[in-house]
Amino acid sequence: MFPTEPAAVNNGFGALLKNRGFMLLWIGQLLSQLADKVFFVLLIAVLENYPPLPGLAQNSMYSTLMLAFTIPAILFGSAGGIFVDRFPKKLIMVGSDVVRGILTLCLPLLPRQFLILLILTFAISTVTQFFAPAEQAAIPLLVKRENLLAANALFTSTMMGALIVGFAIGEPILSLAKSLMGEEYGQEVVVGGLYILSAALMQLIKFKEPKRPREHRASNHPWAEFTESLRYLKQNPLILNAMLQLTTLYCVFAALTVLTIRLAEEFGLKEKQFGFFLAAAGVGMLIGAAILGHWGDKFHHKPLPLIGFLIIALVLGVFTFTHNLLLALGLCAFLGVGAALIGVPMQTLIQQQTPPTMHGKVFGFQNHAVNIALALPLAITGPLTDALGLRTVLVGMSIVVVIVGVWAWKNTRKVLQDVI
C-alpha cells in the first residue's frame, strides 16, 4: 500500500508519505483517536438505559462516569510507560486496540447495571494509558531524526482533528449505526470495529525495537524503573523543561475548557455551544501544525515556544475587551496557532533527546504529569471566575503564561537553538 523505505531527504510531509511504517502508524492512530472520542459519546448515549445506584442522583451519574474515565490516567500514567520499555511496542499497541475493541463489543452483552458500566469504562481507560506512551515511543523508531518535527506536526493535527471531528460526528455515526445494524448492538459494533481496524493496520508495521540488556530487564522492578525516570529527568533539565512547557500548555487548555462555558454566555450563545471556541482553537492548532510540518526546516533557530506563549498571552489579554463573536473565534484560532508552536517543537525535542531505552518511561511520566496537572485548573478555574470575574481570570492567566514562557526560554534557549 505504501513504499517500504522512507525518503532519504527531509521535505516535510512528503518524506512521511513515503514512509510505509509511519503511515500505517498514523492511520492506525487516527482510527484509534476517533474510536476514543466516539466511545465517549457512546457512554453518554447509553447512560439513560442504566438505572442509577441507590442514593446516586441521575445528574451525578455523568460525573461518576467521567471520574471512571479520567482516574486511570492519574493512577497508571507512569506505569504504562514502564510497561512499554519492558515489552515490544507493537505488541502493546495492537493488544491495547484489540482489548478495547473486545470490551466495547461486550457492552451490549453485559447486564445493564451502572456499576458494570463503570468497571468497563475504567478498564478501557486503563488500557489506553499503555497505548499512548507506546505510540509516542514508536514514532522515533519509524521516522528519521530530521523528519520528527513534521511527524509530530502530523500527529498533533490528527489528534486535534479527531477531537473536533470525533465529538461532532459521534452522535450522527451512532444514530446511523443504530438504524442500519439495530439498536441493541449497532453502536458498539462501530466503535469496537474502529479499534479492531486500528489494531489490524498496526500489526503490519515493521520496525526494530531497541535491545535491552537481559540483566537490566531482570534486576529492575517497576518502582526502581519509575525512580530511574525521575533521576534521568533531573539529570536532563532540557527534557524536564520541555515537559513543563507542554504541561503549562495543557493546563491553559484545561482552564479554557471551563472558561468557554462562561464565554459562550458573554457572546450570546447557549452554554452547550461553548464547543465553538474550542473547535476554533483546534482549527488554529491544525493550521500551526501544518505550517510546521511542511516548512518547519525554515524556522530553524527561531524561538518558536517563546513566540507561542506570547501569542497565547496576547489572545487571553485581548479577549477581555472583545465583544464580536467572529473576532473572538478568530482569536481562538490564533491561540491555537500559538499552541502548535509550543506543542510540536517540545514533543519533538523530547523524542530527539531521549534514548530509545528510556522512551516508554519518559513518555509515560509525561502523560502522568500532564493528567495530574490538568486536575488543578479544572478544579479552581470555575470558583476563581465566580469570585474574581471572567476578565480578571483571563488577565491573570495571560500574566502567568508570559512568566512561564519567558522563564522556560531563558533557561533553555542556547540548547534549543541546536536541536529545534
pLDDT of 381 higher than 70: yes
Mean pLDDT estimate for the chain: 78
185 CB burial (10 A radius; 0-12, 13-18, 19+): middle
* 45-59, 68-82, 91-105, 240-254, range with greatest mean pLDDT: 91-105
| pTM exceeding 0.75 | no
Confidence of residue 299 (pLDDT cuts 50, 70, 90): low
Query: Tens digit of pLDDT for each residue in 188-228?
Result: 999 999 999 999 999 998 877 766 555 444 445 656 666 77
Query: Tens digit of pLDDT for each residue in 91-143?
Result: 999 999 999 999 999 998 888 888 898 999 999 989 988 888 888 888 888 88
pLDDT of 316 higher than 80: yes
pLDDT of 413 higher than 80: no
Q: Indicate the DSSP class of residue 252.
A: H
Buried/exposed 320-354: b ≥16 CB within 10 Å, e otherwise: eebeebeebbebbbbbbbbbbbbbbbbbbbbbbeb
Confidence of residue 368 (pLDDT cuts 50, 70, 90): confident
The whole-number pLDDT of residue 278 equals 74
CA distance 250 to 336: 12
Q: Which residue has the higher pLDDT, 303 or 27?
A: 27
* Apex 193 CA angle, 191 and 194, nearest 5: 70
Which residue blocks in 204-274 are alpha helix, DSSP H?
Answer: 214-219, 222-235, 237-266
The whole-number pLDDT of residue 3 equals 38
Which residue do the cell numbers 454566555 mark?
265
The whole-number pLDDT of residue 223 equals 60
The whole-number pLDDT of residue 203 equals 92
Q: Evaluate the CA torsion angle 264, 268, 273, 279 in order and state its sign.
A: negative
User: Average pLDDT, stretch 269-282?
Assistant: 70
DSSP string, 327-383: HHHHHHHHHHHHHHHHHHHHHHHHHHHS-GGGHHHHHHHHHHHHHHHHHHHHHHHHH
User: Average pLDDT, stretch 262-269?
Assistant: 75
- Percentage above 70 pLDDT, the chain: 80
The whole-number pLDDT of residue 283 equals 83
Confidence of residue 378 (pLDDT cuts 50, 70, 90): low
The whole-number pLDDT of residue 78 equals 67
The whole-number pLDDT of residue 275 equals 64
The whole-number pLDDT of residue 420 equals 47
> Please, which contacts does 409-418 make with residues 24 or more away whose CB atoms are closer than 8 Å?
409/303, 409/305, 409/306, 409/309, 411/237, 411/241, 412/237, 412/238, 412/241, 412/242, 413/303, 413/306, 415/238, 416/238, 416/303, 416/305, 416/349, 417/301
Radius of gyration for the alpha carbons in the chain, expressed in angstroms and rounded: 21
Would you say 252 and 393 are in contact if contact means Cβ atoms under 8 Å apart? no
C-alpha closest to that of 37 among 169, 132, 189:
169
